[in-house]
Structure 1
Amino acid sequence: GWIALRLNNDADRSLQHFETMADGVSTPISVARGKYWAGRARDALGQSDAARTDYTAAAEHKFTYYGQLAAERLEDKKLSFPKTTEPTAEEIEAFESRPMVAALRLLGESGEERLFREFAYHLDDLLETEAEYLLLARLATEYQVPDVGVRGAKAGLAKGIVSTDAAYPVVAYPLLREPQVERPLMLALSRQESEMNPNAISHVGARGLMQFMPATARNEARLRGLPYRTSWLTDDPGYNMTLGGQHLDTLLSRFNGSYIMTAAAYNAGPSRPRQWIKDYGDPRTGQVDPIDWVEFIPFSETRNYVQRVLENTQVYRHRLIGEPVEIKIEEDLERGRQ
């Protein structure tokens, strides 16, 4: 659909693709994507009223990338999440009385992390309330696997259940040095990298909250005149975030402040955005629309990563002040424009 609309200028055909997609998916991210692009296709066909209807449907999911883009088109820019309410004694009792929760506690006490995760991922499919997702997140944190709680709350979001504190936890570790990059971007990236697990080690060896490869971390520490020890990447989340903030500053400087290129470089390596500029044009100079540049990213993992980091940056701006904020995703896409 996107190829038909943006590369072949065939809005009629693209609309068929986008409507088929929107009708065949159920998750908020995919629904918002289909409806946003259907709106773009209808705009291209001069069907402004119908386009607005599609944008409105996409904007029902304001925590998603395409929902935020649609909301900006509608001038409906206010973003806020419901404040988390403490579970009642009855809700806690009902949660703790579940046999699967009792099993999770036994597994947590015995250090069976793999089985704990398997049981928790099954449980999160069964939960139905904000309180239940919050209690799962607290249980996971109690047993040193906070990412399980974030992943569970994401499953809740997919079902339309918003448990704000569980889905978008705010961590405030002390930093050795304050970066120039805004804290919401750091938190958005940490959520995407490790789901806020300071102990995470990936299958390729990336470590900690912001998932540093030791060689990258060592180089950044040397560049910044900071001490370095690989164990600190997982033992000290404040150290990990310190280096992460400094590394984001390095990448932002390298890419002239571009958020989309910085996020792509963090995920795929700094050489990749340079190659994609050669292949698809430079969104900082107006050669290519930045929304299209993100769609051009040939790695689905990196394309998804950039979109998730940008959408979560909007959310964390709200989370850090606790008040409604304006969605500025188009401004973030344009950052670095010369």
Structure 2
Amino acid sequence: MTRFASRWILACVAVLTIAAADVSPALANWLKVRDAAMTLRERGRSQEAYELVAQTGVTTVAHEVDRSFIAGFLALRVLGRHDLALAHFKNMAVMTARLRPSDDPAGHRAMAGYWLGRTLQVMGQADEAKTLYTTAAMYRNTFYGLLAASQAGLSDTRAAIAPAAPAYPRPQLFWHDPRMNSELVLAIIKTESNFRTTAVSSAGALGDMQLMPGTVKAISRKTGVPLDPRMVASNRNYNVAVGSHHFADLLAKYAGNVTLAAAAYNAGSGASDGWIARFGDPRTNSIDIVDWIELIPFRETRGYVKKVVSNYVAYLSTGTSSVTASAR
């Protein structure tokens, strides 16, 4: 989404001063540790990054789940310590049973199962890995549930998601950009506003596709078409026409990669380009695309990208299009 596009520099500063933001002190403290560890990893001090996370105490179940994930991720994907990764992901799986409903227990169970499966797969335990992937795939309406289903070779995604079809409304869209299919537009709207046409975010993003006024002005200048901010804020078709044009431009910029386009829509193309430069380009296989998502430093953007991808697959699954469970 575009709500961060005009606040990119401020957002970078906020990562370091997050205690002043609208978060609890416990979350602020954990996010500082998380960010410091990822900075150490990026500077080649991976062992220090791992030790910082592994030795940090946290005070909530949700933060322990995330701490276990980051420790496991660093152990598996950076240090190659499969034994340590397995222990951390097992702890993550156990802790998900204690998560509150508001902390997305289903999504985190799928996440733990997926990463346990990947760890066991690397360790040569293919049968055990498939069992864990299959279990994680029970949560098929989540990002990691979809990835787990793909890893397990399951082909029943459409049937698994079909009962949830009422949760994925399909209002008729008249003006969306023809460079995007309707399922992707619907996925973005569901993620952005859950179809609340008059939604206004705390940052000032407007309507179904949550467009920032500055973005609307930029699109108007680029296209030479006068755009009415009042219509953007109140008329679904008008909002979708502008928002889908913007997202389609991002898709073109990133060679059709939905993940990169979604990251840019949320945090700005400058941010997405910066992460490609820092972490690698998943389009060239210089980095695993799931790793790339997890390295995004903005918690909101990480979650946003996952929701867009999972909602997109859900719309494909409950419609007439073919289904591919992929983050690409």
What TM bracket, shorter-length normalisation? 0.7 to 0.9
Q: Give distance in 2, aligned partners of 1:83 and 1:196.
A: 20
1:51-90 correspondence to structure 2 within 5 Å: 51-80=129-158
Long gaps (5+) in structure 1: 85-161, 334-338
Closer, same or farther in 2 for the Cα pair 1:215/1:9, shift >3 Å? same
Relative contact order, higher structure (CA 8 A, sep 6+): 2
Preserved CA contact (<8 Å) 1:15 1:41: yes
Structure 1: distance between partners of 2:173 and 2:255? 28
- Cα deviation per residue 1:92-113 (whole Å; 9 max; x = unaligned)? xxxxxxxxxxxxxxxxxxxxxx
Partner of 2:229 in structure 1? 230
Residue 187 of structure 2 corresponds to: 188
1:77 and 1:274, CA in 2 relative to 1: closer, same or farther beyond 3 A?
A: same
Judge conservation of contact 1:170–1:320 (CA < 8 Å) in 2. no
Q: Secondary structure at the match of 2:84?
A: helix
Match of 2:84 in 1: 13
Counterpart of 1:33 in structure 2 is 111
Q: Is the 8 A contact 1:217 1:243 kept in 2?
A: yes
Q: Secondary structure at the match of 1:80?
A: helix
Partner residue of 2:205? 206
Contact 2:111 2:136 in 1 (8 A): yes
Are the equivalent residues in 2 in contact too, given 1:81–1:164 (CA < 8 A)? no
Q: Give the paired residue count.
A: 250
**Residue 309, structure 1, aligned to residue 308, structure 2:** yes
TM-score where L is the length of structure 2: 0.72
Aligned pair 1:256/2:252, yes or no? no
Letter in 2 for 1:279: R
Query: What is aligned with 2:34?
Result: none
Secondary structure (helix, strand or coil) at the match of 1:197 reads: coil
CA distance in 2, matches of 1:188, 1:288: 25
Q: 1:170–1:319: 8 Å Cα contact kept in structure 2?
A: no
Whole-Å Cα distance in 1 between the matches of residues 245 and 238 of structure 2? 11
Shift of 1:296: 1.0
SS of 1:198 mapped into structure 2 = coil
Label 1:163 to 1:283 Cα distance change in 2 as closer, same or farther (>3 A).
closer
Which residue is 1:280 aligned to?
Answer: 279
| Residue in structure 2 matched with residue 168 of structure 1 by the alignment | 168
SS class of match (1:261): helix
1:156 equivalent in structure 2: none
Structure 2 distance, partners of 1:229, 1:38, is 50
**2:56 match:** none
Which of these residues, 315, 325, 329, is aligned with residue 325 of structure 2? Answer: 329
Q: How does 1:89-168 map to 2 (within 5 A)?
A: 164-165=165-166, 167-168=167-168
Residues 163, 62 of structure 1: CA spacing in aligned structure 2 closer, same or farther, 3 A cutoff?
closer
- One-letter amino acid matched to 1:169: P
Q: CA deviation at 1:83?
A: 9.6
One-letter code aligned to 1:204: A
TM-score, normalising length from structure 1? 0.70
Measure, in 1, the Cα distance between the counterparts of 2:246 and 2:156: 31
Letter in 2 for 1:51: A
Which residue does 2:291 correspond to in 1?
292
Larger Rg: 1
Q: Residue 189 of structure 1 aligns to a residue in which SS?
A: helix
Give the drift of 1:171.
1.7
Report Cα offsets for 1:54-105 as digits up to 9, x if no partner: 1011001111111111111121133236899xxxxxxxxxxxxxxxxxxxxx
**Number of the residue aligned with 2:265:** 266
